[in-house]
């Protein structure tokens, strides 16, 4: 197979494939897809090394211990699978490469800082809305949850509202 | 066979975790191949030049939704049960605010939390920075969410597990299918709009994020969604479609029915299927006399599901009549039929002994009242003997919590 980093799947077929993966999760596991809760679990694992007493005294953090180790959870294994799947797909498509993705008018340092800052904001936001674009918009959206649809419309609103201000990062 | 396999979360947990890893593999692989490991392609969604995010997301949502509706229609799964297990309950205000903030984080970082993992796996350092940021953000918000300052907001707009079909007051039997059809139609309209927009802005497109037009495969997907929508609409339009066949109704005990008839008669509709003559002579208070062969004239399939229907036959009822199977609400069969009811209601209950439990006394009162109503005895039933000392402390105060 020819490796062309600029060739992607047809977006509609990719969407159907993604939908079938999600449907498998619904039918086999009775669960959807998710990502952000794994990040909390990684954070708690790190905090456990530095300040275990503090974790135990903070209910939302302590809750990740309810099944034992915070990383012993189905969402963590799912994200592990995402890493594997992403790696294999990137390798076989010729997109596996250490680089920083950005528009032509912005420096590497600024781009990394913005990626980090945007990540912090998203992490907090995903916790606030009980899930991110995977767990809330995709999964909840397919399951017709009212909150998920309100969340999804809000995500697009937020993105479009700020796009003009950060155009130099991308264009 | 009914999905999901609950044992994968319990005794076969290890196998369940392997399955989760495989599901994650599929998730990550598809996201990468869709182009979601590349920040410019994700960001381009918000400049209108490459609407891949919208196309992939809505195709996935429609596919998953229709798939689950079909699986539920075939009896393989229960849409609401899966939704209750896999979707979180609705907290309206934090979800709206959180969504807006996540949208801002999305356009600033170029990823969403899920796609940042895919970017990291393909070597993108900005993706890794986003992953680190999400970890920090999650922990910081979790630190604050339960503290008095934020707790009120974090738990505001709590609507429980609320679904679109409930918001639209659709009956639960067809609601998910109706909404799925509507979402599929909306998605196809959005896709056509996205294709137009991409064409109009083609000159301004980022070379790293070229739009991928629908092409032949895309048109096949459109056609698939449209077919599913039309098929769904046709199936729903049929008065008693496949759902009517082979329905099993749970039985309701005489005691339970008596309680409901006396306590909340507005919530239950009792239909007596015996001969008109027999029914006219003696029947359960408040019941309708509708001989079995005339049941079709009630058009139960179109009746309001707000009142539960209880079917009463002469004796026990074997199968649910086809004319009742289409009823959208809850359907019960009276255990033992009218014969059992007579034995239950026409024999005067024995008065409970002194010191009997409050439940036993309550049951006695109910049965005595029922007995007097059925036998035509007008006098009030004799008062039950005084109960022993009330068990447990009484809750104080009045008001709503009293």
End-of-domain residue from the set A98, A132, A152: A98
Give the other-Cβ count within 10 Å of B397's Cβ: 7
- Give the residue numbers spanning the domain of B292: 251-346
Residues B38 and B162 in one domain: yes
| pLDDT of amino acid B296 | 79
Cβ pair B332, B253 in contact under 8 A: no
| pLDDT of amino acid A87 | 97
pLDDT in tens, B118-164: 999 999 999 999 999 999 999 999 999 999 999 999 999 999 899 99
- Name the domain count of chain A: 2
Residues A76 and A160 in one domain: no
CB contact under 8 A, B122 and A86: yes
Phi, psi at residue B84, to the nearest 5°? -65, -35
Q: Is residue B389 part of a domain?
A: no
Residues A20 and A33 in one domain: yes
Residue B168 has pLDDT above 80, yes or no: yes
Residues B107 and B151 in one domain: yes
3-state secondary structure labels for all residues of chain A: CCCCCCCCCCHHHHHHHHHHHHHHHHHHHCCCCCCHHHHHHHHHHHHHHHCHHHHHHCHHHHHHHCCCCCCCCHHHHHHHHHHHHHHHHHHHHCCCCCECCCCCCCCHHHHHHHHHHHHHHHHHHHHHCCCCHHHHHHHHHHCCEHHHHHHHHHHHHHHHHHHHHHHHHHC
Residues A169 and A149 in one domain: yes
Residues B164 and B295 in one domain: no
Please say whether the dihedral angle defined by the alpha carbons of residues A17, A133, A32 and B24, taken in this order, is positive or negative. positive
* CATH number, position B272: 3.40.250.10
Cβ pair B291, B338 in contact under 8 A: no
List of chain A residues whose C-beta atoms are within 8 Å of the C-beta of residue B156: none
CB contact under 8 A, A26 and B64: yes
pLDDT category at B341 given cuts 50, 70, 90 is confident
End-of-domain residue from the set B346, B371, B388: B346
End-of-domain residue from the set A76, A98, A120: A98
Cβ pair A6, A105 in contact under 8 A: no
Determine the Cα–Cα distance for residues B185 and B187; give it in Å rounded to an integer.
5
Give the minimum alpha-carbon distance from A5 to chain B in angstroms, rounded to a whole number. Answer: 10
**Which pTM does this prediction carry?**
0.72
List of chain B residues whose C-beta atoms are within 8 Å of the C-beta of residue A135: 88
Determine the Cα–Cα distance for residues B23 and A20; give it in Å rounded to an integer.
10
- Give the residue numbers spanning the domain of A165: 103-171
The mean-pLDDT minimum among B105-119, B198-212, B364-378 falls in B364-378
List of chain B residues whose C-beta atoms are within 8 Å of the C-beta of residue A8: 33-35, 41, 52, 212
Q: Is residue B395 part of a domain?
A: no
pLDDT in tens, B66-88: 999 988 888 788 898 899 889 99
Checking ipTM against 0.90, whether it exceeds it is yes
pLDDT in tens, B35-72: 999 999 999 999 999 999 999 999 999 999 999 998 88
- Name the domain count of chain B: 2
Give the other-Cβ count within 10 Å of A109's Cβ: 9
pLDDT category at B172 given cuts 50, 70, 90 is confident
Output the average pLDDT for chain A: 94
Residues B62 and B85 in one domain: yes
Residue ranges in B156-299 assigned as alpha helix (H): 164-167, 175-200, 215-237, 254-263, 276-281
Q: What is the largest CA-CA distance in chain A?
A: 55
| pLDDT of amino acid A3 | 80
């Amino acid at each position: 197979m020819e490796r062309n980093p600029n060739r992607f799947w047809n977006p509609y077929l990719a969407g159907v494939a993604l939908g079938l993966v999600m449907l498998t999760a619904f039918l086999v596991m009775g669960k959807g897809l998710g990502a952000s809760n794994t990040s909390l679990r990684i954070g708690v694992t790190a905090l456990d090394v530095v300040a275990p007493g503090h974790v135990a005294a903070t209910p939302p953090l302590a809750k990740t211990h309810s099944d034992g180790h915070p990383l012993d959870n189905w969402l963590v294994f799912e994200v592990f699978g995402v890493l594997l799947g992403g790696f294999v797909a990137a390798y076989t498509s010729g997109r596996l490469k250490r680089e920083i993705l950005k528009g032509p008018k912005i420096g590497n340092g600024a781009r990394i800082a913005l990626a980090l800052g945007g990540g912090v904001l998203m992490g907090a936001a995903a916790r606030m809305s009980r899930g991110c674009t995977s767990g809330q918009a995709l999964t909840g959206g397919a399951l017709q949850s009212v909150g998920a649809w309100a969340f999804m419309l809000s995500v697009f609103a937020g993105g479009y509202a700020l796009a003009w201000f950060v155009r130099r990062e991308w264009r | 066979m009914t999905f999901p396999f609950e044992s994968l979360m319990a005794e076969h947990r290890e196998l369940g975790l392997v399955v989760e890893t495989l599901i994650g593999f599929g998730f990550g692989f598809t996201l990468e191949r869709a182009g979601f490991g590349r920040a410019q392609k994700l960001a381009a969604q918000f400049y209108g030049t490459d609407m891949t995010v919208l196309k992939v997301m809505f195709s996935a949502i429609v596919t998953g939704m229709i798939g689950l509706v079909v699986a539920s229609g075939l009896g393989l799964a229960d849409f609401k049960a899966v939704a209750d297990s896999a979707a979180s309950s609705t907290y309206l205000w934090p979800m709206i605010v959180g969504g807006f903030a996540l949208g801002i984080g999305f356009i600033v970082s170029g990823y969403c939390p899920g796609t940042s993992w895919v970017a990291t796996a393909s070597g993108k350092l900005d993706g890794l920075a986003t992953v680190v940021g999400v970890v920090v953000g999650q922990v910081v918000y979790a630190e604050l969410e339960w503290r008095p300052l934020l707790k009120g907001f974090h738990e505001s707009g709590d609507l429980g597990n609320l679904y679109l079909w409930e918001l639209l007051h659709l009956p639960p039997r067809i609601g998910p299918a109706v909404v799925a059809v509507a979402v599929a139609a909306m998605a196809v309209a959005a896709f056509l709009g996205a294709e137009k927009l991409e064409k109009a802005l083609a000159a301004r497109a980022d070379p790293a994020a070229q739009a991928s037009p629908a092409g032949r495969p895309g048109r096949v997907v459109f056609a698939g969604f449209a077919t599913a929508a039309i098929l769904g609409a046709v199936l729903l339009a049929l008065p008693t479609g496949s759902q009517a066949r082979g329905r099993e109704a749970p039985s309701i005990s005489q005691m339970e029915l008596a309680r409901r008839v006396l306590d909340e008669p507005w919530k239950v509709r009792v239909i007596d299927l015996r001969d008109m003559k027999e029914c006219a002579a003696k029947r359960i208070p408040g019941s309708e006399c509708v001989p079995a062969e005339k049941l079709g004239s009630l058009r139960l399939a179109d009746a309001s599901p707000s009142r539960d229907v209880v079917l009463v036959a002469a004796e026990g009822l074997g199968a649910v009549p086809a004319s009742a199977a289409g009823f959208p609400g809850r359907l019960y069969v009276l255990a033992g039929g009218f014969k059992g009811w007579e034995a239950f209601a026409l024999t005067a209950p024995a008065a409970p002994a002194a010191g009997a439990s409050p439940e036993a006394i309550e049951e006695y009162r109910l049965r005595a009242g029922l007995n007097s109503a059925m036998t035509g005895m007008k006098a009030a039933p004799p008062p039950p003997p005084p109960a022993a000392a009330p068990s447990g402390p009484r809750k104080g105060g009045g008001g709503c919590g009293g």
